[in-house]
Amino acid sequence: MVAFILVMIGISTSAILSQVLYVNLGAQVDEAASSIQPRTAFQSTAEQVLQSGFFDSGTLLVMNSRSGITGAVVGDTGARALTDDDLGRIADSLQAADPNAQTVELPNLGEYLVRSFPTPGSNSLFLVGLPLSQVTGTIGAILTTVALVTAGGLLLLAVVIAIVIRLGLRPLRAVAETATRVASLRMDQGDVSITERVPAEQVDAHTEIGQVGSALNTLLDRVDASLSARQRNEEMMRRFVADASHELRTPLASIRGFSELSLRAMRQAQDDESRQRIALAVETTEQSLERIQAQSLRMTTLVEDLLLLARLDEGQELVYGSVDLTRLAVEAVGDARPAGPDHSWTIDVPDTPVELAGDASRLHQVIANLLANARTHTPAGSVVAVSVAHEGSEAVLRVHDDGPGIDPSVASQLFERFARADRSRDRKTGGTGLGLSIAKAIVDAHHGTITVRSTPGDTTFEVRLPAKPADPA
């Protein structure tokens, strides 16, 4: 396209300049004719006319005088007469040429611009012409110059465009190299981290190619975050399986031990029919069955908690209705007092009910879990305070205790499944580690939040749930 434009500019320039040169040459012919015209009355031949004055080299004159038709041309050494053969060929060329044309190819002389003028005092005409060689030479030089300049310009333009393209595609090569390095990474297993990024100097939000690099970096950031999340989920799943296996193994071992003890006592009673042995076997069997029942209930509770978490993850298990959070808090504290008689329980609720849309039984479970957590992890004599408030568009429940606080090393994992502030497996202190994770799952299902702030002597769990708007007064 650029070459075509340059060629068209060259052709247009040449055409315009050619017209200018033709006009100038015509003016020179007119000027020569004006100088020749008065001399034709005093000179008898064309040669004498051209010798009588100064005329440019190549000036042609053909005239009809008293001596007949004569012609002459100015050469390097002066004017010379044309032969009869030359005049005949010139006449033939003039007759063959277009009558409206001003240029004619003259034998032995080349292409000429000729014009006819009247002879003073006579009805005859004389012809004056100048060669077109200078015009054609000038136009040829111009076309040659335009062609050379165009070729040089195109070559220079090609070099500049190649450099610009290479510089412009450098960020794209960086993108390709980064993508190639990322493609060579193993991502199917283990802890995978994508550290490869497009260099910052190759990322420019103001250019399309720079935006590609920025988009790739953003994609790699998200993929890296997803891989890290996947790794965390895998680790949590392995820990979950290990914890669940441990929690189930303990009651299963107890059930197996007590069942073996019962069977051994019954076999001994069969071997020894004394009343004392039979009574001892019955007592041992009864105690074992009680322990088996307790461990079965423990396994049932664990499995039910796991099933509840799975259903909450799937968005199931909630039955919505109008819930009075104030009443739930009062009932939960009333249930907690007999379970923790060595603790001091207080409650602060507003005079008007704090209502919200939710599942009453599940929200009661949240409060019960928080109170059980406070009772389990605080020493005897601790004060557990429960408060309910309506703050803006939210219903807020707070459970505060003045116990020793939460270990900062486990605070960030407190709501994960099988997480424990006490790492022991003691039933009295450790628990299964599902209480707070269930509470969080229920709160999340109600589109609320649950947080904890803890320092020694000051621990507060806060639950915020969307509340129903208050009735206008």
pLDDT one-digit tens code per residue, 181-196:
888 877 766 667 787 8
Residue 422 has pLDDT above 80, yes or no: no
Lowest mean pLDDT among 192-196, 305-309, 380-384: 305-309
Residue 235 has pLDDT above 60, yes or no: yes
Q: Tokens in use for 383?
A: 């004060």
Residue 274 has pLDDT above 60, yes or no: no
Confidence of residue 51 (pLDDT cuts 50, 70, 90): confident
Residue 279 has pLDDT above 80, yes or no: no
pLDDT one-digit tens code per residue, 94-137:
776 655 556 777 777 788 888 888 887 777 788 888 888 888 88
Confidence of residue 342 (pLDDT cuts 50, 70, 90): very high
pLDDT of residue 296: 73
Residue 395 has pLDDT above 90, yes or no: yes
Query: Could you say which DSSP state residue 183 is in?
Result: H
Whole-angstrom distance, CA of residue 215 vs CA of residue 213: 5
Confidence of residue 430 (pLDDT cuts 50, 70, 90): very low
Radius of gyration of the chain (CA): 56
pLDDT of residue 374: 92
* pTM exceeds 0.85 for this model: no
State residue 340 phi and psi, 5-degree precision: -130, 65
| Amino acid occupying residue 203 | V
Whole-angstrom distance, CA of residue 179 vs CA of residue 159: 29
Are the CB atoms for 47 and 63 separated by under 8 Å? Answer: no
Across the chain, what does the average pLDDT equal? 80
pLDDT of residue 473: 43
Spell out the residues 6+ positions from residue 335 whose beta carbon is closer than 8 angstroms to its own.
368
Whole-angstrom distance, CA of residue 204 vs CA of residue 271: 91
- Report the candidate in 122, 116, 141, 105 with the shortest Cα–Cα distance to residue 18: 141
Strands (E), 9-151: 60-65, 68-75, 78-81, 103-106, 110-118, 125-131
DSSP-derived secondary structure for 419-464 = --SS-S--TTTT--S-HHHHHHHHHHHTT-EEEEEEETTEEEEEEE
| Amino acid occupying residue 326 | T
Residue 178 has pLDDT above 90, yes or no: no
Confidence of residue 425 (pLDDT cuts 50, 70, 90): very low
Lowest mean pLDDT among 175-179, 272-276, 414-418: 272-276
- In percent, the amount of the chain with pLDDT more than 70 equals 80
Average pLDDT over residues 228-233: 78
pLDDT of residue 242: 66
pLDDT of residue 101: 53
Residue 372 has pLDDT above 50, yes or no: yes
Whole-angstrom distance, CA of residue 141 vs CA of residue 23: 19
Residue 368 has pLDDT above 80, yes or no: yes
Lowest mean pLDDT among 125-134, 156-165, 260-269: 260-269
Residue 445 has pLDDT above 80, yes or no: yes
- Report the candidate in 19, 26, 44, 21 with the shortest Cα–Cα distance to residue 119: 44
3-state class (DSSP) for residue 42: coil
Spell out the residues 6+ positions from residue 70 whose beta carbon is closer than 8 angstroms to its own.
45, 46, 47, 62, 63, 81, 82, 87
Spell out the residues 6+ positions from residue 433 whose beta carbon is closer than 8 angstroms to its own.
243, 417, 418, 419, 420
3-state class (DSSP) for residue 389: strand
Q: Specify the residue for token string 């009805």.
A: 123
pLDDT of residue 26: 82
Are the CB atoms for 377 and 339 separated by under 8 Å? Answer: no
- Report the candidate in 417, 434, 423 with the shortest Cα–Cα distance to residue 373: 434
Q: Which residue(s) pair with 348 in the sheet?
A: 387
pLDDT of residue 419: 64
Residue 472 has pLDDT above 60, yes or no: no
